[in-house]
A and B are shown apart, each in its own frame.
Chain A
Amino acid sequence: MSEKPVVLKIENIKKRYRIKHITKKPEGRSEKIKAAVKSFVNPNANKEDFWALNGVSFNVEQGEKIGIIGKNGAGKSTLLKIISRITEPTDGRIEMLGKISSMLEVGTGFNTELTGRENVYLNGAILGMTKTEIDAKFDEILEFSEVGKFIDTPVKRYSSGMFVRLAFAVASHLEPDILLVDEVLAVGDTRFQKKCIDKMLNIAASGKTILFVSHQMNTIRQLCDRVIVLREGTVIFDGDVEEGIRIYNSEAYMEKQNHYDFTELTRQPGYNLDKAEILSLDILQNDSCIYAPDEPIELKLRIRTKVENIGDMSFRMLIWQADETPIEVCFTDTFANINTIGEFDVGITINKHNLGPGIYKATLILSGGTAKANSENLDYVYPAFVFEILHANGTSQSWPRQWGWCHFDDVDVKLLSDGDK
């Protein structure tokens, strides 16, 4: 098989922004004059260089679908802006083959005074479509948008759902060779979002080259066959999707640590902590917070009661995936019947978690009550702690998602009949 042509060649792209510092206000007349003269003579004196992109290079072959991920401020959007020629790089070079279109936003240039139909033509033209192209696709766009008979109504009278549906419909009917997409699939209701993703999958299947920026790892999984992870303006990973997502997740999480102090943590509304609160959490026996699949997780919690006679106290623990997918819940037994005010240490050991390899975070909920019936939630900390589960072979390779996030064990298998002949 011959190698596919490189359609996008990005060489050492850098982008500098100048940020202004606020300096101390000058005091007194002579100081003020001095400062004014200084800023006039050298206007860059209080400015600092910030490199949003600091030497990004990669090649894209025809038909590749690349997911670009990274924390906020990693440079993803700046990179797309430079590739789509909205702003210039400070240094470096990009070569592209074919027609490039970008969907950095839906509804760019929509004018609310104009009707849906007028906006389709205007927006189409802004995105680089010709009138003939739009004419040919108009019915398809209209059908996709589900705007129906409102197409000749001014867009200002549309519901916000209709507006984004129409906007996405136009943008998704572009036919470029290279498509740049920046987190625009999360529009409309769930059903329409699915339709958007299906549409993107169709575009992807038609062999177009796609660069896709998103924080939705599930969409990245569906759409991309390669992932680039950016951190502070540089590429820290380029390759396999699952591996990239794993790196992103360990990036996106707060640092794994083995002591957590919750006294400064803002609780959700409804938790005024007037009866009891969780003060801190320590992870015992494991400094790295990285566990083998069968290794127990040992925690020590410090709690404080503020009223007498709270009664039976217990914990509830929720385990979440990186993208906030809930995985497991456990309810502990009552650990004490506390009738005095004071601080207490509580130990929790998770002997068998059944979690597949990956990075997880946990919520802890403290509840108490004199009887089961009037038990109430007293404190809720999220994220309470972060940990990673390794593969059975001790590596942190990615785990095929089709395998799920928990694993069964204790499954009995036995032969129920003899070999019938």
Chain B
Amino acid sequence: MRKTVIEPNGKNFQYWKDIWHYRELAYNFAKRDVTVRYKQTRIGLGWAVIAPIINVFVMTFIFGNLAGLSSDGSAPYYIMVYAGTIPWGLFSKGLTTSANTFITNAAIMKKVYFPRIISPIGSAVAHIIDSMISMSVLLVMMFIQGYLPSLRFLLFPVFFLLCLILGTALGLFLSSFNVKWRDLAQIIPFAISIGQYLTPVAYSIDSIPEKLRLLYSINPATGVINAFKWCIIKDMPFDWTSFLIALAWIVVLIPLGIHLFRKTERTFVDIV
């Protein structure tokens, strides 16, 4: 029979095995998130298509038409914006849901045990499903426009996942503070709406003056989002500086985020 030992300070060597054991729960959480989001709506998943399209056209109008910024490479401006909103969405949603995971799921977590990390993993899977829908819309748009991707396109899943992982890892890191100080739950949406303008989502990284480029690239999202756009836009150069900075963030944030998350999950129910 399986033996479980409970001791203070979380000396739980089965944690990773447990996560595997509870993998179906992650899938169920994802399924719940996706189903609930579009329940009792007339067009259901259609909203996953319509909302980003509207968003893209608003941003194209502001940045491309009003501000007159230039696109990356030869891509039509709105395609470039669309290619930026998909990874940004993954990053920001991954960040928000994992940072709030202890609070939004407190009711369940106070009554049932499962490795708590299953919860943000489940949400992350739901974000993948949502973004894959946006991704197919982007492809349809590109075909209609006659702007076909090159072979680099095949690399998109790598950057797609990196955006999500980066956002989630940053969220895990913040989640432990969020349990103690709810101020973070107020700050995060605010930071994300500002962050969208400090990240090359709706404009090209080339619009940033050369001497500010390094400072600008410290933003962890810059590198992965730019790299994602690179695989959609066939004649865009790859910006190694920002990408390597983003990779460094990921390498630091994953272990740090998981460590803090695990430290918090052991007793957070006592304070939430």
Contact = CB atoms under 8 A, between A and B. Distances in A.
B187 to A, nearest CB: 20
Interface string B20-45: 00101101100110011001100000
B107 interface: yes
A383 interface: no
Contact of A108 (B7, B27, B107): B107
A281 B31 CA distance: 64
B67 to A, nearest CB: 41
B152 interface: no
Interface in A262-290: none
B51 interface: no
B3 A128 contact: no
B14 to A, nearest CB: 11
A114 B8 contact: no
Interface in A75-89: 81-89
A128 B18 CA distance: 11
B110 A86 contact: yes
Contacts of A419: none
Contact of B25 (A92, A108, A113, A126): A126
A97 B2 contact: yes
B5 interface: yes
A294 interface: no
Nearest to A95: B5
A93 B12 CA distance: 12
A90 B267 CA distance: 10
Nearest to B25: A125
B7 A93 contact: yes
B9 interface: yes
B46 interface: no
B113 interface: yes
Interface string B249-271: 00000000000000000110110
B35 A114 contact: yes
Contact of A114 (B6, B7, B36, B270): B36
Contact of A98 (B2, B32, B108, B113): B2
B112 A111 contact: no
Contact of B5 (A93, A114, A177): A93
B266 A95 contact: no
B24 A131 contact: yes
A90 B3 contact: no
Contacts of A122: 28, 31-32
B24 A87 contact: no
A94 B6 CA distance: 5
A55 interface: no
A127 interface: yes
Contacts of B107: 108-109
B1 interface: yes
A337 interface: no
Contacts of A98: 1-2
Interface in A211-251: none
Interface in A45-93: 81-93
A111 B36 contact: yes
A257 interface: no
A154 B39 contact: yes
Contacts of B156: none
B63 interface: no
Contacts of B270: 17, 87
B6 A83 contact: yes
A84 B113 contact: yes
Interface in B92-112: 107-112
Given A87-B266, A122-B28, A126-B108, A99 B2 contact: yes
A213 B267 CA distance: 22
Interface of B: 1-10, 22, 24-25, 27-28, 31-32, 35-36, 39-40, 107-114, 266-267, 269-270
15 contacts: A87-B270, A88-B6, A88-B10, A89-B8, A93-B5, A94-B5, A95-B6, A96-B4, A96-B5, A111-B32, A114-B36, A114-B39, A127-B112, A131-B24, A154-B40
Given A86-B110, A88-B10, A96-B4, 6 more contacts: A82-B6, A87-B269, A92-B8, A102-B111, A126-B25, A128-B25
Which 7 interchain pairs have the tightest Cβ spacing? A85-B113, A94-B6, A125-B28, A109-B108, A108-B111, A96-B4, A98-B1
